[in-house]
Amino acid sequence: MRVCVDTTILLDILKDEFRIFQEKLYTALARRENLVAPSVVFAELMPQFKGNTKLLGEFLEEHKIAIEPLGVDSVIAASKGWMKYLKRKTKVKCPQCGHRLNLKEHFLSDFYIGGFASAKCSAILTRDRGIYTKYFPALVGYEDCLKASPR
């Protein structure tokens, strides 16, 4: 199975947090899933490696995660979710000037990852299922695949 790995899971491993999500990645490795991530994940991880692309590449290779370009189909899927998000965004009132401001909770990179996963993968492995469920409803979470087809 081709599984998109979200940045959150890799950060969990690097920071040794949220072990339950780390275990899902290690389960995917044990099951020899085809683990991939869009290039934006590489960019999001760079600060953790202080810009050292060699170390980051070694980390990804050790975890058998291939980095792939987004592609137009992924960007189209991402933009559809992003436009839906922009329409739903909440406006807040500035307490100092009273001007209405957009409240931003998600970044475009979240939508690139969701677009990539929905266009190119069978499932997504993430800690943040809310955004993907809301804006990419057809996208399956890897945890659901584990429940449906134990090996």
Give the angle 81-85-88 at the CA atoms, nearest 5°. 145
pLDDT tens figures, 10-52: 999 999 999 999 999 999 999 999 999 999 999 999 999 999 9
Spatial separation of the C-alpha atoms in residues 128 and 10, rounded to whole Å: 12
CATH of 2-148, one of 3.40.140.10, 3.40.50.1010, 3.40.190.10, 3.30.530.20: 3.40.50.1010
Domain residue spans of the chain: 2-148
Which tokens sit at 72? 């137009």
Q: Going by DSSP bridges, is the β-strand pair 34-38/65-68 parallel, antiparallel, or unpaired?
A: parallel
pLDDT tens figures, 105-116: 678 899 999 999
Amino acid at site 45: L
pTM of the predicted model as reported, rounded to 2 decimal places: 0.85
DSSP letter (8 states) at residue 139: P
Name which of 27, 22, 63, 25 is nearest 42 in CA terms.
63
